[in-house]
Structure 1
């Protein structure tokens, strides 16, 4: 078209540039939306096949665990019989006759009784608890345990003696031994075989 309607200059190129930019922006937005939808769809498929939570994965892990053999029972702890434990009974309180009465009770329960009398100056009126079990270090693995079932709260101490007897020094809080039923239950708990822990996946 000529004359005064002829297009001159660079008006036409200026009109097309904004269109290209809009197309690029729209194309970028469309690509982001498409990727987002694809990712969301993938997550939905994973949820469908795994049960929708982490518990399915955990359950699958447990199913993959190899068959566990029955737990092996640990052998019972070997403890001496009361008759094999010789006990010297000493009174560290102001109550007269306490050591004699305690020794007679322990004898009824099967313990071997040695010396009976008042405590030495080292312990006389200096035992605030129920009592002290005093013996050789080897007694910690046997005699202390057996005699300890008869007197709750007794403190264990060792010395340099080479013999196997145990000194029971009665303290100010001593009132009575554990009942025979309580002592038997405590001994049973100590000697009962314990199952070994089962391996876990």
Structure 2
């Protein structure tokens, strides 16, 4: 064999794969990769403008958001005015104030006990609208109902064992709350607060 492929004994001919075939393979791989990237980018743009898969997003949101807890149990029922015995005392210089106040409370359903002037401990020593005085147990019942009738009354407890409550009228007492205002105040206290909705 002669010419380019002549064997001389000290070298062998080198058979190389045509370079054109390799270029075609690389070009094909590049084209597939480019098409894949273009398709992925198109899907991302579609999701941006359409909001993506709303059902899947809602499911993820529901799964991540904690379950709402039930609202708190209703507050303990308050006593009716008729079940509250009220002693009305006047700690001001205005005569007849305790009698008038007792008459008004009786109209609103309260049971009236003693009516008269306040003891020396409180006489002319109540600068506010009034003082509610009773046993510690009155704080969670009688004070709430009676206090709704008189805005600004101060609550105090003593060592008495009876359930009756003293209403000591002070210097700033002008009038009781209107029946509508008192009813609304009691209703607001007995209505349980709704549970907060989840923030997520």
- Please indicate the TM-score interval, normalised by the length of the shorter structure: 0.5 to 0.7
Q: Secondary structure at the match of 1:132?
A: strand
User: Which structure 1 residue ranges, 4+ long, deviate > 6 Å from structure 2?
Assistant: none
- Rounded to whole Å, the distance in 2 between the matches of 1:119 and 1:172 is 12
CA deviations on 1:32-86 (whole Å, 9 max, x unpaired) are xxxxxxxxxxxxx9x98x97xxxxxxx8974542573574353243111111111
Mapped to 1, the partners of 2:198 and 2:65 lie a distance apart of 10
Tell me the TM-score normalized by structure 1.
0.66
Consecutive unaligned residues in structure 1, runs of 5 or more: 1-44, 52-58
What is the aligned partner in structure 2 of residue 145 from structure 1? 144
Aligned to 2:81: 82
The question of whether the paired residues in 1 share the 8 Å contact of 2:134 and 2:156 is answered with yes
Q: After superposition, give the CA deviation of every residue in 1:115-138 in whole Å (9 maximum; x if it has no partner).
A: 000000000000000000000000
TM-score, scaled to structure 2: 0.66
Aligned residues: 149
Aligned ranges for residues 148-163 of structure 1 at < 5 Å? 148-163=147-162
Are 2:172 and 1:173 aligned?
yes
Alpha carbon RMSD of aligned pairs, Å? 2.6
Long gaps (5+) in structure 2:
1-40, 49-56
